[in-house]
Structure 1
């Protein structure tokens, strides 16, 4: 799958975020990277499809915004493609991954996301 096609799928998933959620999101930017680079202490073969980096809305206090950088949501192309067999699988997985990472912005943890089917 080309970069442009994958980028389009990620954009479509972002466009599919309910407007009510978009209206509540604050200081978030999206990125697409080819590969996840494991952190020190993680196995070198660690693969994840998406990553939220930031301070969840539920964790912010009154002085949070002072000098805060935007939260980052990164979607990883190659791990996603390796996890999927068909284009339809990629479309579905990108949608799930975008919603999963957005949910982290709202303070929803992995356990709850799995319970809701967004794991």
Structure 2
């Protein structure tokens, strides 16, 4: 058992590593379609994002897809366009983890798949199948 007296919360770098591991475990066909999607980890959403997403607190949002999804015709990047990005928010994810009986890696995978799923316009059932394949 880990020494709980010295245990620390996962850092931004730790969460980035969890996200990269989760991404690497996604089905190869799914990852091939994600070419160019950038994954970023921050502690919280910025103030503009909180206003745009109508968040009451910084803990309301676990992740966010920003960009032009394939479902909206965003397959080809245009000059001057930012890359499609998935943001994972460390502190809200850790707060969710503390309140639920799920492994942190499973939560990160769920948020990542859900946000990338927006890129493809996938249904909840499609995203559940991708998550199951990554487990």
TM-score tier by shorter-chain length is 0.7 to 0.9
Secondary structure of the residue that 1:92 maps to in structure 2?
helix
Which structure has the larger Rg over C-alpha atoms? 2
Q: Please, what is the CA RMSD of the aligned residues?
A: 2.6
Q: TM-score, normalised by structure 1?
A: 0.79
What does residue 58 of structure 1 align with? Answer: 71
Moved more, 96-105 or 34-43: 34-43
Unmatched tracts of structure 1, length 5 or more? none
Residue 113 (structure 1) aligned to one of 120, 124, 131: 124
Unmatched tracts of structure 2, length 5 or more? 1-8
What does residue 24 of structure 2 align with? Answer: 15
Against the structure 1 CA distance between its residues 65 and 2, is the aligned structure 2 distance closer, same or farther, given a 3 Å change threshold? Answer: closer
The aligned length equals 114
Are 1:93 and 2:88 matched, yes or no? Answer: no
Query: Counterparts of 2:83 and 2:25 in 1: how far apart (Å)?
Result: 21
Q: TM-score, normalised by structure 2?
A: 0.71
Secondary structure of the residue that 2:22 maps to in structure 1?
helix
Shift, 1:106, TM fit:
0.8
Against the structure 1 CA distance between its residues 18 and 114, is the aligned structure 2 distance closer, same or farther, given a 3 Å change threshold? Answer: closer
